[in-house]
Amino acid sequence: MRDIFWTAGPWLVALALCQGCGASVSPESAHGGGPARSWSDPRGRALLFDPGISPGDEARLRSDYQFMESRRFQFPAGREADLFGKVFGGAEKGSSVVDYLSLRVRSFVPALSDSELEERLQFGRAGYSVMANNLGAALWIYSKSIDTHPVVFHLGDRALEMKSPRVGLVELGSGYSDSRSGAVMRSATLVHEGRHSDCSTQLSAEDHARLRRGQNPEDPRCTHSHADCPSGHPLAGLPACDSHPWGAYSVEMIYGLGLEAGCVNCSESDRLEARATALDAASRVMVLEEMLSGSLGEPEMGSVQ
């Protein structure tokens, strides 16, 4: 069994890819209850909600997209404005953050138990089953490296094929509906998860082999996988840090810093939450100083797949 941990803000979300442990999946049983619900984000792009998404989480998601869309920014000229513009494609409007997400996050499912996951997943090879607790990008990597057959995830009445890292299937953890998290922290979580949808470099033959052996790739930039936090860090030994520049924590940090420093219609509590979010994310970037100085290059926001 191999675990990939991706984190969403302060909550650790475990994504387990489990090979050869579980019964085979019958396609007839591989449907969640009821139809998927569709909603157009503020930029007019369709998002899908699994029928298992609670009304409360759906309302929070809609509200968080509206929060992002309605932010207005005014940065003093400098590195923060420059980085915000490079990551989100613009530094004046929150709509650029929604545009960033529209490319990378497309559907939401609630936290799934392993057995539920098994029911919903359908692998393209008969008699073979893998259980996973995942995001779409993890399943895409699985289908690219470990078992190169189509992987389909059933979201309500929709069958989503994991054919791109940007399939954008996001599982919401319990922290998303925790009343202690506000719109800033929740939207930063979406921004963070969005970065995992970018495969910023081709996986090498050796990294494909490493994945098949149950190891993380040497180069984390395809889906921006996390690294173990170093000794002395509060999360030492847990894969909840980034060893490379411009990964998911860096992008989350830039979003938080942007809200803190440049948002002209944020409340004081929004700004405090943004600062806390940015500081937490920054503490997880192991190459922070070199990255911010520019010596590790500028953010590359494309995806090669």
47 strand-pairing partners? 39
Near Zn ion by CB under 5 A: residue from 4, 6, 110, 153 = 6
Are 227 and 243 within 8 A, CB to CB? yes
Measured from the CB atom, the residue of 6 and 153 that comes closer to Zn ion is 6
Query: Which string of DSSP letters, residue by residue, matches 215-253?
Result: ---SSTTBTT--BPBPTTSTTBTSS-BBSSTTSHHHHHH
Considering the complex, state which of residue 7 and residue 277 has its C-beta at the smaller distance from Zn ion. 7
Stretch binding Zn ion (CB under 5 A), from 6-14, 83-91, 108-116, 237-245: 6-14
Q: 10 or 51, CB closer to Zn ion? A: 10
Residue 213 three-state SS? coil
Exactly one of 91, 146, 191, 248 binds Zn ion (CB under 5 A); which one? 248
Beta-carbon-side half-sphere exposure of residue 111 (alpha carbons within 13 Å): 9
Q: Which is nearer to Zn ion, 123 or 246 (CB)?
A: 246
Stretch that binds Zn ion, among 5-13, 111-119, 199-207, 258-266 (CB under 5 A): 5-13
Q: How far is CA 68 from the centre of its chain?
A: 16
Count residues binding Zn ion (CB under 5 A): 3
Nearest approach in angstroms of CB 128 to Zn ion is 28
Per-residue x/- marks for Zn ion, 190-229, CB under 5 A?
Answer: ----------------------------------------
Query: Beta strand 107-110 with 169-172: parallel, antiparallel or unpaired?
Result: parallel
Query: Closer to Zn ion at the Cβ: 92 or 300?
Result: 300
Structure tokens at 289: 């100083």
Nearest approach, Cβ of residue 239 and Zn ion (Å): 9
In the bound state with Zn ion, the residue whose beta carbon lies nearer, of 81 and 191, is 191
Q: Would strands 107-110 and 46-49 be described as parallel, antiparallel, or unpaired?
A: parallel
Q: How far is the CB of 87 from Zn ion (least distance, A)?
A: 15
CA distance 189 to 183: 10
Binding marks (x or -) toward Zn ion, 44..83, rule CB under 5 A? ----------------------------------------
Find the shortest distance in angstroms from Cβ 249 to Zn ion.
7
Q: Is residue 122 packed enough to be buried (19+ CB in 10 Å), middle (13-18) or exposed (0-12)?
A: buried
Q: In this chain, which stretch among 113-121, 136-144, 242-250, 258-266 interacts with Zn ion, using CB under 5 A?
A: 242-250
Going from the C-alpha of 264 to that of each of 74, 94, 249, 252, 259, the distances in angstroms are 6, 11, 24, 19, 8
Q: Which is nearer to Zn ion, 233 or 271 (CB)?
A: 233
Question: Which regions of 73-191 does DSSP assign to beta strands (E)?
Answer: 107-110, 121-123, 130-133, 151-155, 158-161, 169-172
User: Position of tokens 């052996």?
Assistant: 213
Query: Partners of 271 in the beta sheet?
Result: none
Query: Which x/- pattern, by CB under 5 A, does the window 114-153 give for Zn ion?
Result: ----------------------------------------
Residue with smallest beta-carbon separation from Zn ion:
6
Residue 7 CB, nearest approach to Zn ion (Å): 5
Binding site residues, Zn ion, CB under 5 A: 6-7, 248
